[in-house]
Amino acid sequence: MDAFAGAEVPQPDPNPAAEVKPMVRYKGVTKSFGDLQVLKGIDLEMQPGEKVAVIGPSGSGKTTMGRMLMTLEEPTEGTIEVDGELLWHMQEKGRLVRANEKHLHRMRCSVGMVFQHFNLFPHMSVLRNVTEAPRKVLGLSKEEAEERAVSMLGKVGLDDKLKMYPANLSGGQKQRVAIARALVMRPKVMVFDEVTSALDPELVGEVLEVIREIAEEGDMAMMLITHEMDFAKEIADRVIFGADGLIVEQGTPEEIFDNPRSERLQNFLQRFRSN
Ligand SMILES: Nc1ncnc2c1ncn2[C@@H]1O[C@H](COP(=O)(O)OP(=O)(O)OP(=O)(O)O)[C@@H](O)[C@H]1O
């Protein structure tokens, strides 16, 4: 049963102008898979344009957080908002109820996600991989979709590979197609989930460079789930350290990497540096 059916609708802020509206807001979010409680009450806000890196031990629920934002996993409790709109819930007759498919579908378009494994369509050319969603989901014409796609593929340095198929691309090139495919939908928020983990070391740099350029453009909120600590330090405005289903510590990259306060984070960074 939906834990939210019948819950009170949160009251609007009496003075909304006083508050900058966050682009993303997790409120009291928990997630269980059977008996395993992976997230135990996450409260997190991301401001418009903010770059947030999420670090933490394997199995601490980082991917699950991103997948919930992408509407791929449903929170067990709590709410998530994107740009002021509830993601997994909607209001019906003054009550919060689980969102219907139409609402989820609309909200899904505001979030883009790039995964560790590229998940490209193997039977489609690079161009078709990138035009498919704008055509099918946004209903753009072939010409409009191709115009957007070619521009995005140019941005990730692949405008000379439009007619190629994924099997003939390197891992770094495949991942750049996956990034273009997410960006072409013009999401409000992007989630990058361990996007370099499956790459040969010599291909990591080209993908990080593309993400760096997107980050420098500034206007899109980005969640970077990563084990690339140097990259997190360079790109992120804020770093979140999660462990055992909770946000244990958060702060600027300098605070987190140079002056970790909690013993959990100190141990995590020490283990990381000695590997
Ligand atoms: N669909 C699922 N069904 C059951 N258990 C799941 C499911 N998805 C994730 N889990 C479990 O939830 C826990 C958290 O997984 P998650 O992938 O979110 O962690 P993570 O911090 O991203 O780990 P890593 O750094 O290794 O990618 C793990 O124990 C995982 O096995």
Q: What pLDDT digit, counting tens, does each position of 199-236 carry?
A: 988 889 999 999 999 999 878 999 999 999 999 999 99
pLDDT value at residue 272: 82
- The domains located in the chain, with CATH, are 120-186 (1.20.1580.10)
Q: Is the pLDDT of residue 31 over 80?
A: yes
- Indicate which residue's Cα is closest to atom 12 of ligand 1: 38
**Contact, 238 vs 52, CB < 8 A?**
yes
Phi-psi bin for 116: left (phi > 0), alpha (psi -120 to 50), beta?
alpha
CA of 13 to the centre of ligand 1 (A): 35
pLDDT value at residue 218: 76
Q: Is the pLDDT of residue 3 over 60?
A: no
- Indicate which residue's Cα is closest to atom 18 of ligand 1: 61
pLDDT value at residue 88: 96
CA of 76 to the centre of ligand 1 (A): 15
Pocket flag, ligand 1, residue 79 (CB < 6 Å): no
pLDDT greater at residue 207 or residue 13: 207
CA of 209 to the centre of ligand 1 (A): 28
Task: List the single range of 90-94, 123-127, 140-144, 178-182 with lowest mean pLDDT.
Answer: 90-94
Q: How far apart are CA 87 and CA 168, in angstroms?
A: 37
Pocket flag, ligand 1, residue 226 (CB < 6 Å): no
Q: How far apart are CA 235 and CA 218, in angstroms?
A: 11
Q: Is the pLDDT of residue 7 over 60?
A: no
pLDDT value at residue 226: 94
Using pLDDT thresholds of 50, 70 and 90, give the confidence band for residue 19: low
Using pLDDT thresholds of 50, 70 and 90, give the confidence band for residue 99: very high
Closest CA to 254 of 60, 53, 24, 43: 53
pLDDT value at residue 165: 98
CA of 62 to the centre of ligand 1 (A): 8
Q: How far apart are CA 231 and CA 70, in angstroms?
A: 23
pLDDT value at residue 198: 86
Pocket flag, ligand 1, residue 129 (CB < 6 Å): no
Q: Is the pLDDT of residue 112 over 70?
A: yes
CA of 29 to the centre of ligand 1 (A): 15
pLDDT value at residue 130: 98
50: DSSP letter? -
pLDDT digits (tens, 9 = 90+) for 123-142: 999 999 999 999 999 999 99
pLDDT value at residue 274: 77
CA of 54 to the centre of ligand 1 (A): 14
**Distances 48 to 61, 151, 223, 225 between C-alpha atoms, Å:** 23, 24, 12, 18
Q: How far apart are CA 196 and CA 204, in angstroms?
A: 6
**Can you give the C-alpha Rg of the chain in angstroms?**
19
Pocket flag, ligand 1, residue 64 (CB < 6 Å): yes
As a whole number, mean pLDDT of residues 177-198 equals 95
| pTM as predicted | 0.90
How many CB atoms are located within 10 Å of the residue 81 CB? 20
**Helical H segments across the chain, by residue range:** 62-69, 101-108, 126-136, 142-155, 171-183, 201-217, 229-235, 253, 263-274
Pocket flag, ligand 1, residue 272 (CB < 6 Å): no
Residue 134 three-state SS: helix
pLDDT value at residue 13: 53
- Indicate which residue's Cα is closest to atom 30 of ligand 1: 59
ipTM over 0.95: yes
